Structure 1
Amino acid sequence: MKKIDIITAHNISIDYDAATVMNRGVAKFLDLLIIFVYAFISYLIIASVFASTYNWRTGEIPEIVIIMLVIFELPIVFYSVIMEYFLKGQTVGKMAMGIRVVKINGENANFNDYAMRWAFNLVDFWVSGGAVAALFISTTDKGQRLGDILAQTAVVKNNPDQVYSIRDILNIKDRTKHEPTYLGVSKFTDEDMILIKNAITRVKKYPNEPHKELVRELAKKAAEELNLEEVPQKKLTFLKTLLQDYIVLTR
């Protein structure tokens, strides 16, 4: 599984699982299916409404029919760019597959980014039958097709393939080897502890000021929830102790 490490504008690192060729292929198929159904219904409506205006003798198509066909075809042509722009990086197919488009520099993707990806659909999919897209997605570090590379985007999974509980995250001693220090920690949730664990991991991997500030803020918030008179001086050690205490008290 390819990992995409995105550094936000605040220098915070976020890890994503890159969408696979299969993920993106199925999403594309679903989108094409939606487009086909829309086109079929649209043409049926136009044919039924304007059938009486068709000149069977000359074979000429009235201008109003041509105009209506163009209008109805616009959503088909611009489907992906419109959907990704209004659904924040997703089409219906991407939503169904749990994937979305993100900027690799941590910024929010804008219309120009989605338009660039849409423009290179011609090369990535239509001309090559998807071969160019599959080749680039399989061989690039971030699983990017040509349109993604030029737009500085990537397609990622909303949720990882493996979901860990708090008990899987840390190998904690049992009560015979660890006596809890902060008994009130049991009021916290698994999600709180996962957040703390992620913060500890981040500050170890990226010991920059934003991550250190996150640790300080979490330590302060935890101390307030535990009604401590003051925040322990060694904040990272404090958070690690909370993790150990939580597992021992709730397992």
Structure 2
Amino acid sequence: METIKVNTSQHVDIDYPVAGLGERIAARLIDLAAFFGLYMLVILLAVLIRTETVFFILLIALGAIYVFYNLICEVFMNGQSLGKRLMKIKVISIDGSQASIGQYFIRWLFRLVDFALTAQIGGLIAVAVSEKKQRIGDMVAGTTLIKTVPRTRFDHIAFHPTEEEYTPVFKNADLLTDRDVELMHEVILTYYKTSNADLIYNMSAKVAEHLSLNIPQGMNELNFLTTVIKDYKHLTSQSD
């Protein structure tokens, strides 16, 4: 599976499965098919209503939908259109975070270059040859498309119940946030899938620096992360 390396806001590199050219094309065709279905509905309404004014208004509305469809969908559907959702791909910022409205607007604006002014092939060529599978609008906006692999959420992390008498090893682990712990867990899962030990080393170094401590002698980086997660769960549960 082809991936891109995204540097998260916590400065940890995580590999995301990149959306392929075929998936992009399929999503585009689905969106066009949806628009064509809407167009046929307007024609049907025009035949039934038989009023030129209403038909003219419907055509204007249909044109506006066609022009702004992708922008509106990506803003309100978290980086997806109907086609992207069905193909399980989405737009994200190149730093791994959700793209901003400004980024959606820029990549929408550059559809003129990617598609309209290049007979639909400019964007396809850019995606095919670019390192991070970006069309021109993505390059300018700082975005890309990834497959929507479910991300770790804190309430989905499986913790073993901590004993009442459990003594945390790192007593300031509660200085972390839920998102920090989610990312640690995600890094551990990615390590087991890819055997990329650099993820563990980088993450443990960031956590140790954040907590202003050194990894104890005899404890490896993986055990360090799992211990910090356990300590965080225990400490935060005691304060609930």
**TM tier, smaller:** 0.5 to 0.7
Counterpart code for 1:36? F
Pair 1:122-2:130 in alignment: no
Q: Is the 8 A contact 2:187 2:200 kept in 1?
A: no
Q: What is the aligned residue count? A: 185
CA distance 1:21–1:196, change in 2 (3 Å):
closer
Q: Is the 8 A contact 2:14 2:187 kept in 1?
A: no
Unaligned runs of at least 5 residues, structure 1: 54-60, 161-191, 227-251
Counterpart code for 2:87? M
List aligned pairs for 1:178-197, cutoff 5 A. 196=188
Q: Distance in 2 between matches of 1:207 and 1:13?
A: 13
Counterpart code for 2:61? I
CA distance 1:148–1:197, change in 2 (3 Å):
closer
List aligned pairs for 1:68-147, cutoff 5 A. 68-147=58-137
CA distance 1:132–1:72, change in 2 (3 Å):
closer
> Offset at 1:29?
0.7
> Offset at 1:103?
0.4
> Offset at 1:115?
1.6
CA distance 1:71–1:194, change in 2 (3 Å):
closer
CA offsets per residue over residues 116-143 of structure 1, 9 Å max, x none? 1112222212333321111101111100
> Offset at 1:196?
3.4
Counterpart code for 1:38? L
CA offsets per residue over residues 6-40 of structure 1, 9 Å max, x none? 12222232211221111101111111111110111
Counterpart code for 1:10? Q
List aligned pairs for 1:229-240, cutoff 5 A. none
List aligned pairs for 1:35-46, cutoff 5 A. 35-46=35-46
Partner of 1:154: helix, strand, or coil? Answer: strand
Partner of 2:28: helix, strand, or coil? Answer: helix
Q: Distance in 1 between matches of 2:93 and 2:185?
A: 29
- Computed over aligned residues only, the root mean square deviation of the Cα atoms, in angstroms, reads 3.1
> Offset at 1:153?
0.4
Q: Who wins on radius of gyration, i.e. which is larger?
A: 1
Counterpart code for 1:126? A
Q: Is 36-45 or 25-34 further displaced after alignment?
A: 36-45
Which residue number in structure 1 is paired with residue 175 of structure 2?
none
Q: Distance in 1 between matches of 2:57 and 2:208?
A: 57
Which residue number in structure 1 is paired with residue 27 of structure 2?
27
Which residue number in structure 1 is paired with residue 227 of structure 2?
219
CA offsets per residue over residues 178-226 of structure 1, 9 Å max, x none? xxxxxxxxxxxxxx99863546651325664247769645314447999
> Offset at 1:67?
2.8
Which residue number in structure 1 is paired with residue 206 of structure 2?
209
% identity of equivalent residues: 28
Q: Distance in 2 between matches of 1:146 and 1:109?
A: 16
CA distance 1:193–1:151, change in 2 (3 Å):
closer
Q: Distance in 1 between matches of 2:48 and 2:2?
A: 50
Q: Distance in 2 between matches of 1:124 and 1:22?
A: 16
CA offsets per residue over residues 137-165 of structure 1, 9 Å max, x none? 111110000111111100111239xxxxx
Unaligned runs of at least 5 residues, structure 2: 151-183, 192-196, 212-221, 235-240
